[in-house]
Amino acid sequence: MRALVWITESSWPACVDRARELLPADAEITLLHVASSEVEALAEHPGPGRLGRHRPPPPGPSVREISDEEAAALLHEAARRLARPAETVAHRGRVEREVLEAAADADLLILGRDGEPRREPKSIGHEARFVVDHVGCEVLLVWPEPPGGLESVRWPPHLR
């Protein structure tokens, strides 16, 4: 069984914990982080300024170097928390697309619900929503934090 765990900044600990607890011992686990090239491009060229001119960036590490460093640090922390053999992969690009392509040959995708708890359809964030809608393999959706009991459900009128 090949399992892909999508590591994001807000939900990775819960995803890693579920992978460790639920995946069979012989599962091949891949931890994936995707840096958004759109946000990096915007940080490098953050806007119109004057007629779209951009001065050379100030000295110091570039946006991409910082981004790579943080992705590596996050994946390292995730692998340590997983405490099982796993491959770590850092991609860059349009996030939803990169995840779908990486999940193409996986049997299971584990990802976090990064939306607002107990709000439909917003309990799943934009990117995760697109991936869930389109991915071909099975999906395990993980709550970053337990959502609380049934008493916290805001029932719509027809279900009251």
Q: What's the N-to-C CA distance of the chain in angstroms?
A: 42
Q: How far apart (Å, rounded) are the C-alpha atoms in residues 34 and 96?
A: 9
Residue 141 sits in the site that holds other proteins (CB under 8 A): no
Q: Give the start-end residues of each E strand in 37-99.
A: 87-93
Residue 6 sits in the site that holds other proteins (CB under 8 A): no
The stretch among 24-32, 100-108, 121-129, 132-140 that binds other proteins (CB under 8 A) is: 121-129
User: x/- string (CB under 8 A) for other proteins, residues 21-40?
Assistant: ---------------xxxxx
Minimum CB distance to other proteins smaller for 1 or for 41:
41
Residue 99: in which H helix or E strand, if any? helix 95-102
Residue 49 sits in the site that holds other proteins (CB under 8 A): yes
Minimum CB distance to other proteins smaller for 27 or for 90:
90
Residue listed under structure tokens 């946000």? 39
Interior/surface letters 126-154, b for 16+ CB within 10 angstroms, e for the rest? ebbbbbeeebeeeebbbebeeeeeeeeee
User: x/- string (CB under 8 A) for other proteins, residues 56-85?
Assistant: xxxxxx-x--xx--x--xx-----------
Minimum CB distance to other proteins smaller for 2 or for 119:
119
Structure token pair of residue 70: 């943080």
| Residues near other proteins (CB under 8 A) | 8-14, 36-61, 63, 66-67, 70, 73-74, 114-116, 122, 125-128, 144-145
